[in-house]
Amino acid sequence: MIIRLGTEAEKQKLLADFPNVKNVIRDGGYFIIAKIEDTVVGYLWAFKREIPASVGQEEIFINIIEVIYTNLRCQGIASKMLNEIIDIAKIENVYQVRAFCDIGNVPSHRLWLKNKFSINPVKMQDGTISGSFCSYVL
């Protein structure tokens, strides 16, 4: 398996094959792919931004991480993609890598925990928990 930055052509093919992904992948940013032979089996898209609090620091925010084929999940592919974006974040000298995870997505929460991300539930005004912000401080 190869984990690397994807090309623009690979990104366009992914967008053509999975049209709903257009909602979470934009121009620019960091497009990381996991490939087995000639097949993209996973992807991560993230972007750098100022932390939305007045701390004067930047973060890389993961907008999506996905292992496409269910039979390949829970085999370390997503963790390898996370390690790649963490390596990029170190080079970019940002403060943290962060993501949002829906509260019902148990496998995603386990991924963040396994990779030493903090889990910060988001409590709404009505008391419900909508999800968690997951952060890895460099």
One-letter amino acid of 72: L
Whole-number pLDDT of residue 11: 95
Residue 27, pLDDT above cutoff 90: no
Q: Which pLDDT tens digit goes with each residue over 65-79? A: 999 998 999 899 999
Q: Report the 10 Å Cβ neighbour count for 52.
A: 9
Q: What are phi and psi of 68, to 5 degrees?
A: -65, -45
CB 59 within 8 A of CB 85: no
Domain parsing of the chain, residue ranges:
2-137
The single-letter DSSP state of residue 126 is T
Q: Could you say which architecture CATH assigns to the domain 2-137?
A: 3-Layer(aba) Sandwich (3.40)
Give the position of tokens 């080079």.
91
Whole-number pLDDT of residue 132: 95
For residue 10, name the pLDDT band (cuts at 50, 70, 90).
Answer: very high
Q: Which pLDDT tens digit goes with each residue over 31-61? A: 999 999 999 999 999 999 999 899 999 999 9
Alpha helices (runs of H) in the chain, residue ranges in sequence order? 8-17, 77-92, 106-114
Q: Which pLDDT tens digit goes with each residue over 93-135? A: 999 999 999 999 999 999 999 999 999 999 999 999 999 999 9
Strand ranges across the sheet with 30-36 = 2-5, 30-36, 39-50, 58-67, 96-102, 129-137, 118-123
